[in-house]
A and B are shown apart, each in its own frame.
Chain A
Amino acid sequence: MMSGALRLSDDGYVRLTLAALRTIKLTHLISELDPDTRPSPCRASGASAASIVGFTEWVSHTTPALSLGWDWRIATIAGQVRYEREGEVRSNAMLINVRGRDLGETASGVLLCIAVDRLEWKQVVDDYISNRYARHLSTLTVTESRTSL
């Protein structure tokens, strides 16, 4: 990744093309359960995996650095527990076209969501969350098998 492909602007955005974004490796920084739904030890046994939501933060090791964060939800489909991105991607990235013009917050946001959905993030987050909240999640009972959220 050539550093010239990333431009840090005074407004705080890192501007880059979609093609440049696709060449950048993102690494996991931190994930947390959503504060409002975090299962406490006393009520975890009555919680369901479908009610577990959280967020995750990923970062590039470029200069300037890219930062992407999004919410996720654990869905149980046919007995299989899996993570799904929920809502928009929050980032300091502003995608530009080949002429250097901003695509805008909406278009950038859509493309960042697509980029995140192609990222292998689910297992990484699962491992991290499982370790971080092992004490809470060990008593969790998966009781639902919802196919939609």
Chain B
Amino acid sequence: MQVISGDAAGLPQGYYGRVTHYRHRVFVEQLGWHLDVKDGAETDQFDRPDTVYVMVEDEAGNIAGCSRLLQTTRPYLLGEVFPQLLNGLPPPRDAAVWELSRFAAMDFNARAATPLAQFSNSATALLMRASVACAAERGAQRLITVSPVGIERLIRRLGIRAHRAGPPMVLDGHAIFACWIEVGGVEPP
């Protein structure tokens, strides 16, 4: 597997479109999230020229995972849409804090690909480490993420220090929460 990362303009040709279609397959088709969709692609107002994308590609050239990194000094998902997940703290606005969102690792070519197993497939650990490393290269010391609560278990299993920022909220029957991730000490993939 290989990791590909960069902003939309810096990604290899065609990869931005591939990642938005991959997100559509994962979040809209498989997980049933109610997100903005256009022509089979899932994008929102946080997909901007400065947004950084991290992808894991398998040996056959298929995308097996993706994530999105946003600076908290500019509008970001948690700060704009889910500030209540911070338990009363104001959303961070700090060049050393980046947001991790749209984290998914689902191999559609695996024999038993299911959306519910997204935090246990072989690409997940690589994607998480690559996402943290990518943010660190850009000056991040901490990440804040809005994710299903299952990601906290994954992060801790990888030996990455993390703790929740507050109680989860139940959205469409599933628990999502904000989680702090410490960048320091994480070995790059």
Question: Which residues of A are at the interface with B, using a C-beta cutoff of 8 A?
Answer: 8, 10-14, 29-30, 32, 35-36, 38, 55, 57, 59, 63-67, 69, 71, 88, 90-92, 105
Contact = CB atoms under 8 A, between A and B. Distances in A.
B149 A55 contact: yes
A90 B167 CA distance: 11
- Centre residue among A8, A12, A57 by max chain B CB count within 10 A: A12
Nearest to A67: B167
B175 A30 contact: yes
A71 B177 CA distance: 16
B107 interface: no
Interface of B: 86-89, 114, 116-120, 149-150, 152-153, 156, 161, 163-168, 170, 174-175, 177-178, 180
Given A11-B180, A63-B88, A105-B161, A35 B117 contact: yes
B147 to A, nearest CB: 13
Given A38-B116, A69-B149, A59 B167 contact: yes
10 contacts: A11-B180, A12-B89, A30-B168, A35-B119, A57-B167, A69-B152, A88-B156, A90-B152, A92-B164, A92-B165
A12 B164 contact: yes
A101 to B, nearest CB: 18
Contacts of A35: 114, 116-120, 150
A79 to B, nearest CB: 30
Nearest to B87: A64
Contacts of B150: 35, 55
Contacts of A92: 87, 163-167
Nearest to B177: A67
Contacts of A64: 87-88, 166
